[in-house]
Amino acid sequence: MKLEAQAVNTEDKVRKEVLLKVSFDANQTSDALDWEFLPNSRPAKGDHAGGILFQPGEMLHVEIDGLGSHTSGFRSFEVVDCCLLTNPQIIQIGAKLPLKYAEPSPFCGIDRAVYVLPNKFEVVSCKEPHPTRPHAHRVKQVWQGELEVAKPQGRWELSFIVTVRLDFGDVRPAELRVFSFDPESEVGDGTEPN
């Protein structure tokens, strides 16, 4: 299944916008982020099930939702740091073929496997309730940057790790927490290594 991205016309060229939305509950016991890509780029079946399928030229944006019950005192959170880790996978292997791995990152201008997103997160107003937690207190932060998916095809194990400082007001002291996810990602038509 290919990602069908929304096309946005800017400066006479078409840009495809992809949004990575992650969320956590301030009181959850695990470190797992709930996550989704919009438009949906997570194939449900076939060779790429469980992974994320990008297309070259897409612009990746990031949004983080912090949720908490009103009784817990959760008020807000601060992003301390946020990283994308991309572990390149084999893209060519076979008899009389040199072993070849994907580039360190699927994103333009990034020549390393660990990318720390510049700490430019901005709190934005949440007028609508969270779709799965309508009664929770919700704080949404949006990264004020973007990453462009590069043209080369490849596969990567992708991890997203965020450290946050949780504010519970007068109910209890602030807490530092780390949340993450790590699906496999891919750029291109999804062909297997040669």
Tell me how far apart the alpha carbons of residues 2 and 133 are, in angstroms, rounded to a whole number: 30
Instruction: Tell me what pLDDT residue 8 has.
Output: 31
Tell me how far apart the alpha carbons of residues 187 and 52 are, in angstroms, rounded to a whole number: 9
Residue 43 has pLDDT above 80, yes or no: no
Q: What is the DSSP string of 135-194?
A: TSEEEEEEES--EEBPSS-EEEEEEEEEEEEEE-TTSS--EEEEEEE--EEEESS-PPP-
6-41 pLDDT, tens per residue?
223 334 355 688 899 999 999 999 999 998 888 766
Q: Which of 129-133, 169-173, 179-183 has the highest mean pLDDT?
A: 169-173
Instruction: Please give the C-alpha separations between residue 180 and each of 33, 73, 108, 133, in angstroms, as whole numbers.
Output: 5, 23, 23, 20
Instruction: Please give the torsion angle defined by the CA atoms of residues 167, 171, 175 and 177, in that order, rounded to the nearest 10 degrees.
Output: -80
Residue 3 has pLDDT above 50, yes or no: no
Tell me how far apart the alpha carbons of residues 194 and 99 are, in angstroms, rounded to a whole number: 10
